[in-house]
Every structure is written in C-alpha cells, then in structure tokens.
A and B are shown apart, each in its own frame.
Chain A
Amino acid sequence: MMLTDEPTADITTTINGKKVTARVVLRQSLVDWVRHEVGLTGSHVGCEHGVCGACHVVVDGKVVRGCLMLAVQADGASIVTIDAPEASKEAGALQTAFYERAALQCGFCTPGMILQASELLQENSAPSRSEIRDAISGNYCRCTGYHAIVDAIEAAAAALRAEKAA
C-alpha cells in the first residue's frame, strides 16, 4: 500500500542471508518494511519511539531498535531477524530455555528479548542476574514480571557453557 506520490529510494540489503533489492518509502521504518513488504513478521511493532524493544533486529551484527532506523538506511547492510531459522547459536539456546521455563505469556516481547539476550550471551558467557536485568532493561514485558525471563537467560547461558565444555 503506497501512495503514488510518496518519495522512495532503491535499496539492496541482505535479510537472513538472502539478498533483497527493493524500492522503499523514505519515511518507512526498518521494522515496518521488514514486516509489511518483506513479509517477516517475527519482529513486532510496539511503541514506535524506542522505548519497548519489541522491534529489535540485528543490523551488521548489532541489535538495534527497528523502529528507530529507516528502511532506506539498511541499504548495503546485513539484517538478521528472529525469523531466521537460527538467528544465532545463542538465540537457539534461548528459544529452548524460554519454552522450557515458560518465560513468555503473550509472546509479544519475546523476539526482542531473545535477540537482546543473545547479544548479551555473545559478550558474556556467564552473566549475573543483575547483569541480565541490565541487559534487558530496554525490553518491556507486561506479562511475566521478568523473573522467568531472567531464569531462562541464566539457563540458556548454562546450557551454552555446558555444550562448550563437552
């Protein structure tokens, strides 16, 4: 759905390993474009002003707010979303741990949580509970009260460490 006189630009980007060339609306956010035009709906749109963290995507290896970056800025970048079969090794372990610990209820915040926690575990293989809470301080969850999420991230870290030691 695009107004005919809407200003656009052409971009080329890589999404979950696949090269994508597209004409994007200049004022469209990266997360809106990924959801509505690319059709990957794992990233969620919550507050649209950088507060809730539901829109997290990974751009050139770093977790960013998908609502605070324009689609046009993704030109030449490599994007990974939660829709990737395994967004990262850490994301895979986190998905298992979130499921086992029931660290989600409605699930709206989960994609953003998992990508943020994945970045934490890449930098710190044994974070304390307080470090985990700091790392996910920019991700809102309105269901769980966070305890189960912190438990799951701790469990995923332990599982990854055990796997590495084996």
Chain B
Amino acid sequence: MKPARFAYARPQTLAEALVLLATHGSDASILAGGQSLMPMLNLRMSQPAILVDINSIPDLALITMRDGQLAIGGRARHNDVMHSELLPSSNSLLKRALPYVAHAAIRNRGTLGGSLALSDPAAELPACATCLDARIVAVSTRGERVIPASDFFRGLYTTALEQDELIHRVEFPLLDTNWHVEFDEVARRRGDFAIAGLALAVKLDSRRIAECRIVFAGVEAFPRRMAPVEAALTGSLLTDLSVRAEAFEILAQTLDPLEEGEYPAVYRRHLARVLLNRLLTRICEREQA
C-alpha cells in the first residue's frame, strides 16, 4: 500500500509556499501533519501531482495572545496546543476536547489547520472552532482573508478555503469567566472517530442561561450552531428540566444526522440528546462544586 508518485517541495518561506500553491492549484496538496493526508495517499484515495510540505516555514506554529484573543498558528501540533500555558488551565474548550483527538502519536504530528481544512465530519476541532466563534485567517498570494468559523465549514469535507489558500492562524476570542465550556464524545474506543461529540458553551447569569452555543461533531455533515435549541434554553434556569425536555424535542427536529455507515440516524439523534443532557448536568455540577 504505497502512494502514487508525486513531486515534492519544501518551501522555506511562506511567500514561496503561496507561490507554489498559486502555480499548482488543485494539483497541489499541502502537507502539514500528514495524519490524514498520508493515509489518503497510501490508500490512493488522493493522488496530488505535488506535495507542498509546510513543515519548514518559520512562525506557522506560533501560539500567541494578542488583542485579547488567542491566536494559534495553522501548523501548531495538537499536543503543543493542549500543553500550551497560554490556554487557561481550566474552563478551556480546546483543553477539554484535544485529549479526544486521535491518539498520542498522532497528536504529536497532526495540526490545527490541517484538521479544520480537512473538515472531517467526526473531527472535534471544527466543532470547537464553531462553538468558540473562531476566525480562520487564510492566506494566499492575494493576501489575507478572515473567515468566521460559522461560514468556514460548508459540507462533508468541504470548506470555504480556495485552492491556493493556506490556514495561517486561527483566532479564538477569549470567553469571560461567566462562560462554562464542556466537551464530550461517544466513540467505540478512546481516540477513534466520534459517533457523536458535543462542544458546549454556556454563559451563566446567576444560574440562568444568558447565552449558549451548541455544536455537535460527528452527527451532521459539518459543524453548525443549533440555533433553535440555543434559543429554547436561553433565559431558563440551568436546572430547569422541563425546559431541557422542550429543548430536546427541538433538537430532534433541528438535527439532520448523517445517514451513512454502520450507525443509523436515529442512533446519532439519541446520542446528541444524551450528550446535551450530560454536559448541561456537568455544568450544573461544576457550578455547585
């Protein structure tokens, strides 16, 4: 099981990489962590004419705090993000979700930009980026372009990125201390693709839900906010189980679950409800603690 032939370029500067992407267009694939691209090459599901290896470009893996937001370079490795001291030690959605991203050796190599650009429906980070209202900064020879996460994911393995664009960094606005974030997922085995996952952020105002953001992974073709469910919960007490029951009804109507594979849509709907209930309860428990 070996890849088909390809040409290989390892640009030393961002400018050089962008020229290569502009020149080769859809014939080129960006090689970042390679944790999804390499399997696709080995299985010959993908046969690009040229690989543009971005691993030697300086400053593409920086994690910085600037202008009140956390900026994570597109090539930042999952384990480096997970262990970054710039992320809050508690109440960080990325810190809660990253241990679920594949396995340790894959997290050593896989990148944030790669995960977002691939937009695997089962991936955790696209759901987190959507939940956190992240801004994806794409760059090409034409300059920089900021794409809100809410407009970035467009379908199964489909994003707003153009052929010649590269994810330079992802900006995460900081949440104030009234926000509570949780992540959980159901998979057959730790590190496997999620059958269903949930990124949840709830802003509390004296135990009432002032705002909330609900984004599933693995349930639908791509991550999106469950606006009608969020609206149903907003304004209610976190502990109000009758409001929660109504929200579950609305959730069932709002979801458009994936149909393919070994899991029927009805099971994914069930898991979505279980996860939402579990994480709302977890926020209640942490609040009381």
Spell out A's residues near B (CB within 8 Å): 6-7, 9, 26-29, 32, 48-50, 53, 56, 62-65, 67-70, 72-73, 75, 116, 119-120, 133-135, 137-139
Residues of B near A65 (CB, < 8 A) are 35, 105-106, 109
In B7-55, which residues have CB < 8 Å from any A CB? Answer: 7-8, 10, 31, 34-35, 38-39, 41-43, 53, 55
CA of A28 to CA of B99, assembled, Å: 30
Additional pairs, 19, CB under 8 Å, beyond known A27-B6, A138-B191 = A7-B8, A9-B8, A26-B5, A49-B1, A49-B38, A49-B39, A49-B42, A50-B38, A53-B105, A63-B108, A64-B109, A68-B34, A68-B35, A72-B10, A73-B31, A73-B55, A137-B103, A138-B104, A138-B105
Residues of B near A67 (CB, < 8 A) are 38, 42
CA of A63 to CA of B106, assembled, Å: 9
Spell out B's residues near A (CB within 8 Å): 1-8, 10, 31, 34-35, 38-39, 41-43, 53, 55, 79, 99, 102-106, 108-109, 189-191
Please pick, from A9, A50, A72, A119, the residue contacting B104 in the complex, using a CB distance under 8 A. Answer: A119
CB–CB B7/A27 < 8 A = no
Residues of B near A27 (CB, < 8 A) are 2-6, 41
Residues of B near A68 (CB, < 8 A) are 34-35, 38-39, 106, 109
CB–CB B8/A116 < 8 A = no
Chain A binding surface, main DSSP class: loop
Residues of A near B103 (CB, < 8 A) are 53, 137-139
16 contacts between A and B (CB under 8 A): A7-B7, A7-B8, A9-B8, A28-B2, A49-B39, A49-B42, A62-B109, A64-B105, A64-B108, A65-B105, A72-B8, A134-B190, A135-B104, A137-B189, A138-B102, A138-B191
Residues of B near A72 (CB, < 8 A) are 8, 10
Interchain nearest-CB distance for B48 vs A (Å)? 11
Interchain nearest-CB distance for A61 vs B (Å)? 9
CA of A44 to CA of B55, assembled, Å: 25
**Residue of B with least CB distance to A112:** B105
Residues of B near A133 (CB, < 8 A) are 190
CA of A67 to CA of B109, assembled, Å: 12
Interchain nearest-CB distance for A125 vs B (Å)? 16
CA of A72 to CA of B103, assembled, Å: 24
Residues of A near B2 (CB, < 8 A) are 27-29, 32, 48
Please pick, from A69, A120, A134, the residue contacting B38 in the complex, using a CB distance under 8 A. Answer: A69
For B3, B42, B104, the residue with the greatest tally of chain A CB atoms inside 10 Å of its CB is B104
Interchain nearest-CB distance for B111 vs A (Å)? 13
Residues of A near B104 (CB, < 8 A) are 63, 116, 119-120, 135, 138
Interchain nearest-CB distance for B37 vs A (Å)? 9
Please pick, from B1, B4, B99, B108, the residue contacting A48 in the complex, using a CB distance under 8 A. Answer: B1
Residues of B near A64 (CB, < 8 A) are 105, 108-109
